[in-house]
Amino acid sequence: MSKVILQIDGNNFYASCEQMIDPSIKGKGLVILSNNDGCIIARSSEARKMGIPMGKPYFKLKNKLTKLNITVRSSNYELYGDISNRLMQLLRENCEELEIYSIDEAFGTIRRPNNMFLYQWAKDLRALVYQNIGIPISIGIGETKVLSKISNHLAKKIQNNSGIFDIGIIENKDPYLNLIKVNKIWGVGKRMSIWLRKKGITNARELRDMSSNQIKEKYGVVGLRIQNELKGNLCIPIKETSSDRKEICVSRSLSYSIDSLEELSQAIIKYVLIASAKLRKYNQLASAITVFTNTNTHSKDFYKKEATEKIDIPTSDSRIMLKISLELTKKIFRPYRKLKKAGVILHKLQSNKYKQKLLFDQQYIEKDLSQERLNHVIDQINNSNGRDTINWGASIIEKEWRPSREKLSLIKTTNIESIPTIYAK
Ligand SMILES: [Mg+2]
């Protein structure tokens, strides 16, 4: 039994999450807006069919959306994150290995049975996910990551495939690879596809069959890997852990300009807390912190500033990171500047398996342990009851500087208060 690669992807994920918690908008036109309700970042398939483009500013399309009776929602990342966790957990239970690739995408592996057919297995998994999570998924199956991505694309593109496609059992893949334009191939960036087109290579089959030397000369091992994966030779393995993450960045555009140190500090505190909780989730420690802010990029007196501090003993402790970043915030703040964006980057990340301690300082070790437990408890409470359920004294959550999310759906999965009440007589 040979191992095959699965590529699993939530269809129109953000829109599907919104439709799952609000059945009244199921099967209808729906768009999701970016932070601050700026641009359209996701669409339901119905909105896509009505010709609503991606990435366009909301205000430009507002009238058209109203006319077409399309529902508009602010992005609700807490909800999408929660649904994503549930989805990934279910996938992990059903695959041999699983690599979480993004909020709505994963690569998995499974053994191909002796009769070769995985269609029924994939169909059952799709049904299981829909029944338990309420989200439609597409499943692409192939010998390599690049081929499984292509398979997934075909699963979505060809209606009769009903969300599943297995290119691995197809002897002559040429007609299918001919359908895939080079810019749609996983790993082929914009520059590479322009270069390929100049060479007369327009689709996946042509890329698979072109001279390896030409690719190697221009794109080295990275290019060769893509070509080899198209040939069915596995070159890009499944990575089950995300321990190779090098940095965590949390930044937001602010709903209105802020010009006091206090407001900027509040924003930074919030982002440090989000970033450090992420760090602990991935069992990592940070060795440096950067905080940054800027005014509107189009403003005449554009101002941008960042400050970085090394952390002597790498840590994931919110308390230590808050202290350092508040000092840094003082360095980047300038009065009379209308700040529109702020953020935090934790970098030089390392695994917490090899935590460095001050070897002979018993008091330090004990303090560090109790601090670790405290952070852990806070994470647990916030994970099960919603972010900000319990917080650090330094963070008084002020509403005003929060990013605007006027059309936010109720978070019905992460907040106990937004669960609907049913009265029985
Ligand atoms: Mg998707």
What spacing in Å lies between the alpha carbon of 22 and ligand 1's midpoint? 19
Of residues 169 and 386, more confidence is placed in 169
Ligand 1 centre to CA of 9 (Å) is 5
CA of 124 to the centre of ligand 1 (A): 19
CA of 163 from ligand 1 middle (Å) equals 12
Tell me the per-residue pLDDT of 42-100, one tens digit each, with 9 for 90 and over: 999 999 999 999 988 999 999 999 999 999 999 888 889 889 989 999 999 999 999 98
% of the chain residues with pLDDT over 70: 90
CA of 13 to the centre of ligand 1 (A): 5
- Cα(169) to centroid(ligand 1), Å: 24
pLDDT band, residue 397 (cuts 50/70/90): low
Q: Report the candidate in 90, 123, 127, 128 with the shortest Cα–Cα distance to residue 106.
A: 90
Stretch among 68-77, 99-108, 319-328, 360-369 having the lowest mean pLDDT = 360-369
Structure tokens at 52: 């609503």
Residue 153: strand, helix, or coil: helix
Query: Is the Cβ–Cβ distance between 20 and 134 less than 8 Å?
Result: yes
Q: What does the pLDDT read at residue 243?
A: 53
Q: Rounded to the nearest whole angstrom, what is the distance from the C-alpha of residue 103 to the centroid of ligand 1?
A: 9
Q: The tokens of 300 are what?
A: 């005449």
Lowest mean pLDDT among 298-307, 318-327, 329-338, 348-357: 348-357
Determine the distance separating the centroid of ligand 1 and the alpha carbon of 238, expressed in angstroms: 19
pLDDT of residue 41: 92
Query: From ligand 1's centre to the CA of 1, what distance in Å?
Result: 30
Domain ranges of the chain: 1-170, 190-239, 248-385
- Give me the pLDDT at residue 34, please: 85
Instruction: Report phi then psi at 303, rounded to 5.
Output: -130, 135
> 294 and 303 in contact (C-beta within 8 Å)?
yes
Name the one residue in this structure whose structure tokens are 């936010």.
408
Token digits of residue 33: 């807006």
Q: How confident is the model at residue 255 (pLDDT cuts 50, 70, 90)?
A: confident
Residues 286, 279 contacting (CB under 8 angstroms): yes
CA 21 to ligand 1 centroid distance, Å: 18
How many angstroms is it from 254 CA to the middle of ligand 1? 27
* Distance (Å) from CA 15 to ligand 1 centroid: 10
What is the model's pLDDT at position 417?
A: 65
pLDDT of residue 396: 59
Q: Helix, strand, or coil here: 420?
A: coil
Mean pLDDT computed over every residue of the chain: 87
What average pLDDT does range 245-269 have in this prediction? 85
What's the 3-state SS for 82-110? HHHHHHHHHHHHHCCEEEEEECCEEEEEE
Examine the pLDDT at 291 and tell me if it is beyond 70.
yes
Residue 120 backbone phi and psi in degrees, to 5: -65, -40
Residue 410 pLDDT grade (very low, low, confident, very high; cuts 50, 70, 90): low
Tokens in use for 48? 């896509």
Instruction: Give the Å distance between the CA of 325 and the centre of ligand 1.
Output: 35
pLDDT value of residue 329:
96
Q: Which pLDDT value is given to residue 36?
A: 76
How many whole angstroms from 361 Cα to the centroid of ligand 1?
50
- What's the gap in Å between 12 CA and the centre of ligand 1? 5
Q: Distance from the CA of 413 to the center of ligand 1, in angstroms?
A: 20
CA 188 to centroid of ligand 1, rounded, Å: 18
CA of 30 relative to ligand 1 center, distance in Å: 15
Distance from residue 312's CA to the centre of ligand 1 (Å):
40
Instruction: Identify whether the C-beta of residue 118 lies closer than 8 Å to the C-beta of residue 166.
Output: yes
- In which band, very low, low, confident or very high, does the pLDDT at 2 lie, cut at 50, 70 and 90? confident
pLDDT on residue 252: 81
- Position 296 scores a pLDDT of 83
The predicted pLDDT at position 257 comes to 84
| Fold exhibited by the domain 248-385 | Dna Ligase; domain 1 (3.30.1490)
Cα of 10 from ligand 1 centre, angstroms:
4
191 CA from centroid of ligand 1 (Å): 24
pLDDT at 29 over 60: yes
Three-class DSSP category at 256: strand
Length of the chain in residues, anyone? Answer: 425
pLDDT of amino acid 324: 95
Higher pLDDT, 310 or 399: 310
- Ligand 1 centroid–CA 393 distance in Å is 38
What is the arithmetic mean of pLDDT over 343-364? 75
Q: Where does residue 151 rank: exposed (0-12), middle (13-18), buried (19+ CB within 10 A)?
A: buried
User: Per-residue pLDDT for 279 more than 70?
Assistant: yes
Q: How far is the CA of 239 from the centre of ligand 1 (A)?
A: 20
Mean per-residue pLDDT, 233-251: 79
Degrees to nearest 5, angle at CA 147 with 97 and 186: 95
CA of 17 to the centre of ligand 1 (A): 11
The CA 16 to ligand 1 mean position distance, Å, reads: 10
Fold of 1-170: Alpha-Beta Plaits (3.30.70)
pLDDT value, residue 366: 76
Nearest residue to 318 via CA among 359, 355, 274, 281: 274
Integer Cα distance of 233 and 223 in angstroms = 14
Predicted pLDDT at 382: 80
The alpha carbon of 316 and the centre of ligand 1 are apart by a number of angstroms equal to 31
C-alpha 245 to ligand 1 mean position (Å):
22
Alpha carbon of 228 to ligand 1 centroid (Å) = 25
Local structure of residue 221 (DSSP, 8 states) = H
Quote the pLDDT of residue 414: 66
Question: Of 36-40, 144-148, 345-349, 419-423, which one has max mean pLDDT?
Answer: 144-148
Region 383-388 average pLDDT: 71
The pLDDT score that the predictor gives to residue 249 is 86
65 Cα–ligand 1 center, Å: 22
In the prediction, which pLDDT does 35 show?
Answer: 74
Question: From ligand 1's centre to the CA of 339, what distance in Å?
Answer: 34
The percentage of the chain sitting over the pLDDT mark of 90, rounded to a whole number, equals 59
Contact 385, 340 (CB under 8 A): no
376 C-alpha vs ligand 1 centroid, how far in Å? 32
